[in-house]
Amino acid sequence: MGKLVFVGLGLRGLGGIPLEGLEKARGADRVFLELYTSPMADFSPEKLEKLLGKPVTLLRRVDLEDEGGRKVLEAAGGGCAVFMVPGDPLIATTHVDLKLRALKAGVKVEVVHAASIYSAAPSISGLQIYKFGKTVTIPFPSSGYTPETPYEVLRENLSRGLHTLILLDYDAEKGRWMTVKEGLQYLLSVEEKRGEGAARPERLALGLAGVGGPDVEIRGGAMGRLAKADFKLKPQTIIVPGSLHFVEAEALKVLAGVSAEELNLESPG
């Protein structure tokens, strides 16, 4: 029976890879890597190859989504293949699909977990992770079309008093990262159009940059003010808090520099 091992790269470049993951990769017959689902600063296949002491095959989105991970499955069927992904494995739908394909083909599957933005962002901000609602991604506009789903998800979460983790788009082929400023400007533009209150300029928001690195940027404040701020590190993420516990409110003051005036302790709907 062949074997496929999913290994999370974590959030902090080579330093975030679990030791177990390194051991699995060093002992594998083939090592595959994808970097399109989530951006990682200060990381490159060349650095990984040097660390592992063996070649690494970089996969494109088309290799997994259009070709069903054929290269990975063929390698796993004839030996041991390791598939390394940013953050924690199997969070992306394409990775779950690859796991299912492997199991159906009689390939044994193992998973080595690592840190993820889903746990790191709440931890850094001091917000309680069980009070987060649905996560959403703001995409780059395509051919003039700007979807309003992110705004709708935010509105729904706020109506329930829940925090919203907003991921920002990343174009791996162009090396383009969406910024906090761009993400907030999108939300404010939809608010101006719809006027439903989810992204009014005085709404409290947090901007995070460089999560997983040694010097994380975190700033909070009214959306209208924060939308003018420049964050230097990458990747970048937005959190819009819902109803705040008094400990969460204190954490935002200390950790994100939110002023007492900008804190909204009332119902956020």
CA 54/CA 48 separation, integer angstroms: 9
Classify 70 as helix, strand or coil. helix
Give the pLDDT confidence of 202-216 residue by residue, as tens digits. 999 999 999 988 889
Give the pLDDT confidence of 92-116 residue by residue, as tens digits. 778 999 999 999 999 999 999 999 9
Pairing of strands 170-171, 3-8: unpaired
Per-residue model confidence (pLDDT) at position 143: 63
Domain-by-domain residue ranges, the chain?
Answer: 3-112, 117-256
Q: Is the pLDDT of residue 266 over 60?
A: no
Q: Is the pLDDT of residue 1 over 70?
A: yes
Over residues 249-257, the mean pLDDT reads 95
Per-residue model confidence (pLDDT) at position 149: 95
117-256 homologous superfamily: Tetrapyrrole methylase, C-terminal domain (3.30.950.10)
| Confidence (pTM) | 0.91
Intrachain domains 3-112 and 117-256 with the same fold: no
CA 7/CA 111 separation, integer angstroms: 6
Q: Is the pLDDT of residue 124 over 60?
A: yes
Per-residue model confidence (pLDDT) at position 120: 94
Pairing of strands 176-177, 170-171: antiparallel
Which residue's entry shows tokens 């940059």?
209
Over residues 72-95, the mean pLDDT reads 92
Q: Is the pLDDT of residue 269 over 60?
A: no
Q: Report whether 150 contacts 187 (CB < 8 A).
A: yes
CA 178/CA 39 separation, integer angstroms: 11
Q: Phi and psi for 3 in degrees, rounded to 5?
A: -140, 140
Give the pLDDT confidence of 46-74 residue by residue, as tens digits. 999 999 999 999 999 899 888 889 999 99
Report the first-to-last Cα separation within the chain, whole angstroms. Answer: 54
Structure tokens at 223: 């959306």
Number of C-beta neighbours around residue 129 at 10 A = 13
CATH code for the part of the protein at 3-112: 3.40.1010.10
Structure tokens at 15: 């330093």
Q: Is the pLDDT of residue 224 over 80?
A: yes
Q: Is the pLDDT of residue 265 over 60?
A: no
Structure tokens at 45: 């296949």
